[in-house]
Structure 1
Amino acid sequence: MTRIIRADPPGQENFQAEEDRLFVRSVGRAMQVLRAFHQASGPLSLSEIATRAGIDRSAAQRLIHTLLMLDYIRRSSDDRGYLPGIRILDHTWDLLRLDPVVQKATPVLLELRKTVRERVDFSLYDETRMIYALRMQSKRETFYASLVGHSVPAYCTAGGRAALSALPEAQARDIVTRTALHKYTAKTETDPDAIMTLVRKAHSDGYAVVVDELVQGEVAIGVAVSREEGMPLGAIHVAGSLSEWTPESFVRKVSPLVTEAAGAIVGSL
């Protein structure tokens, strides 16, 4: 199977939660079934879902049947496995249309995209990762780069480091040390102390710059969108190709525009 570059949610929820009398364990297990698809590159069998969800086959069968009846899971076209169902998109739309930050960011990013003519994204902060909520592509379109809901690690992305730089340093360091630090390219920084040095630089500069760390041949600038000190809500990412830009020229041209856009979003909240 093709490896999916996707950041996992921070921490693992305790779906048993026996001491929490309000926690509905059957709902938690249903969410585990849906999460089984997070790293999948194709349809999953009943056994694969049970294994990935950490539940027994009998429970998985009942949950899959229920979710299938509700259209939150569907059979694959060859009828050999299961895929997420179309009804999940209803909830994606609800999140995006009702989120006040996404509402305010959308017109700002549309204007920014017209100006920079490079890929412009807006992501929401989720502690150890950033989740893309708005994606505006450039001439170099790729499948994964066009999808909302895709998540990337905070420690090695421009928007992620910008978001971390808006936190108190001790909190940012705690997040970095709790993250699985993978090397996505030869230049991905995985040393916690070196990452924190880059986070401090982003705090000082007002933006983060990442070159070749998640995507080979790409330079990206990220600026945090924060309501108040220590509370990042998300980040703007702008990415360009190293075949067209040097990191220095990209920063010189794009960083003032991204900083202005982030300020406009914060000022409208």
Structure 2
Amino acid sequence: METTVVKALTLLEALAFSDGPATLTSLAQTCGQTKSNTHRLLKTLEECRYVRQDAQARTYEPTLKLWELGTRFFGRSNLRAAAAPHLLALAKATGESIYLSTIVDDEVIYIDKVESRHAVRTHVEVGHRAPLYCTGTGKAQLAFSSEETIDRICANLVAYTDNTVTSPTVLRHQLAEIRARGYATTCGEWRPGVLAHAAPIRGLAGIAVAGISVVGPEERMRRADAEAQVDALLEAATNIAEALGLTAAEP
């Protein structure tokens, strides 16, 4: 077995299971390695974006790249398989495009979709990334994310359209409303003329592990029965959570 690979994986595991950012000395002791060897491995992992260093505090912590790897595997297997029949049912009930997504590196990444049969419809490729704070599925998941995540997002609000919310105060108020009602509605915040209803798929402690959205052209969506669409959306989110064996906490 390649010793360097084993040492690097041991170091990553030590970082992942640490209660917080760890020092070089503590990591060397935990892994049973010399400080010089641990430092060399940390530099390599940092260059590969698996580890970040706080130069001022002189500590290290894992980045979300590990989470992204796990999420991609999860998305290809359990989540997509569990969600597939419910995406189809929701598309049939609403007649609009349905998207399944999750959060990676503080962005939404789309992992599956069912496109509307309408000639005029929205289109986002599977694997595409989008902002958390101005997409329906992003806001639905952000509302049920950690305060740390919300703080990071609020510190970097950039306008994509005239409707994009760039005020942290306004965004936090909207997220509180989303938590209260259990779903998000956005219109033209990322792409002009697009309206979306979205709901989180929640796991332990009510934290969002994914999101599902009904998306279509604003003009057609405003003519539709929004209440019926939202009811079908929330039912689909609940069904997917149950299919995954997740128990969503009460908001």
TM-score category of the 2 structures, normalised to the smaller one: 0.5 to 0.7
- 8 Å contact 2:96–2:121 — kept in the other structure? no
Q: Structure 2: how far apart are the matches of 1:205 and 1:135?
A: 24
Show the counterpart of 2:159: 183
- 8 Å contact 1:166–1:229 — kept in the other structure? no
**CA spacing shift, 1:196–1:108, aligned 2, 3 Å:** same
Q: Does 1:228 align with 2:204?
A: yes
- Tell me by how many angstroms 1:228 deviates: 2.0
Show the counterpart of 2:216: 240
- 8 Å contact 2:87–2:113 — kept in the other structure? no
- The one-character-per-residue Cα deviations of 1:45-69 (angstroms, maximum 9, x if unpaired) are xxxxxxxxxxxxxxxxxxxxxxxxx
Q: Structure 1: how far apart are the matches of 2:187 and 2:194?
A: 6
Q: Structure 1: how far apart are the matches of 2:206 and 2:148?
A: 9
Aligned ranges for residues 253-264 of structure 1 at < 5 Å? 253-264=228-239
**CA spacing shift, 1:265–1:212, aligned 2, 3 Å:** same
Q: Which amino acid aligns with 1:102?
A: R
TM-score by length of 2: 0.66
Q: Structure 2: how far apart are the matches of 1:112 and 1:124?
A: 18
Q: Structure 2: how far apart are the matches of 1:131 and 1:167?
A: 15
Q: Structure 1: how far apart are the matches of 2:104 and 2:45?
A: 25
Root-mean-square deviation (CA, aligned residues, Å) is 3.0
Show the counterpart of 1:166: 144
- The one-character-per-residue Cα deviations of 1:47-92 (angstroms, maximum 9, x if unpaired) are xxxxxxxxxxxxxxxxxxxxxxxxxxxxxxxxxxxxxxxxxxxxx9
State the number of aligned residues. Answer: 188
Q: Does 1:114 align with 2:92?
A: yes
What SS does structure 2 have at the residue aligned with 1:131? strand
Q: Structure 1: how far apart are the matches of 2:206 and 2:73?
A: 27
- Tell me by how many angstroms 1:25 deviates: 2.7
Q: Structure 2: how far apart are the matches of 1:95 and 1:259?
A: 22
Show the counterpart of 1:25: 44
**CA spacing shift, 1:250–1:164, aligned 2, 3 Å:** farther
Q: Which amino acid aligns with 2:241?
A: V
- 8 Å contact 1:113–1:136 — kept in the other structure? yes
Show the counterpart of 1:153: 131
Q: Structure 2: how far apart are the matches of 1:250 and 1:184?
A: 28
Aligned ranges for residues 32-111 of structure 1 at < 5 Å? 96-98=75-77, 100-111=78-89
Gaps of 5+ in 1: 1-16, 33-91
- Tell me by how many angstroms 1:171 deviates: 3.2
2:189 to 213, 235, 238: 213
**CA spacing shift, 1:159–1:26, aligned 2, 3 Å:** closer
Show the counterpart of 1:265: 240
- 8 Å contact 1:163–1:223 — kept in the other structure? yes
- 8 Å contact 1:96–1:133 — kept in the other structure? yes
Q: Does 1:194 align with 2:163?
A: no
What SS does structure 2 have at the residue aligned with 1:246? helix
**CA spacing shift, 1:208–1:93, aligned 2, 3 Å:** closer
Q: Structure 2: how far apart are the matches of 1:20 and 1:112?
A: 51
- The one-character-per-residue Cα deviations of 1:78-107 (angstroms, maximum 9, x if unpaired) are xxxxxxxxxxxxxx9966433x22221112
What SS does structure 1 have at the residue aligned with 2:161? coil
What SS does structure 1 have at the residue aligned with 2:189? coil
Identity across the alignment (%): 26
- 8 Å contact 1:162–1:222 — kept in the other structure? yes
Show the counterpart of 1:62: none
TM-score by length of 1: 0.62
